[in-house]
Amino acid sequence: MPFALPHFQLLQAQTPPDNLPFLFAALAVSWAVFFVYAFWVSRRQQDLRREIDELKQTLDDD
C-alpha cells in the first residue's frame, strides 16, 4: 500500500537517476532481441529463397 510509506521514501524510490541503469539495461536487451530476430529472419529468408530456387530447378528439369 503506497500510502503507508513515508513521503521521503516515495520520492527517493522514484528519482530518475536511480532508475537510469534499469532503463539502459532494458533498452540494451530490447535492441539485442531486435537484432537477433532481424538476423534470424534474414537467414530464414535466404533459406526459403534457396529452397524456392531448388524447386524451380526441379520443375524445369521435368
Q: Express each pLDDT in 13-46 by its tens digit.
A: 566 788 899 999 999 999 999 999 999 999 999 9
pTM above 0.75, yes or no: no
CB 2 within 8 A of CB 10: yes
Residue whose C-alpha cell reads 533459406 in the numeric block: 47
Please, what is the end-to-end C-alpha distance for the chain in angstroms?
A: 74
Which pLDDT score, from 0 to 100, does residue 2 have? Answer: 55
Q: For 3-17, what is the mean pLDDT? A: 61
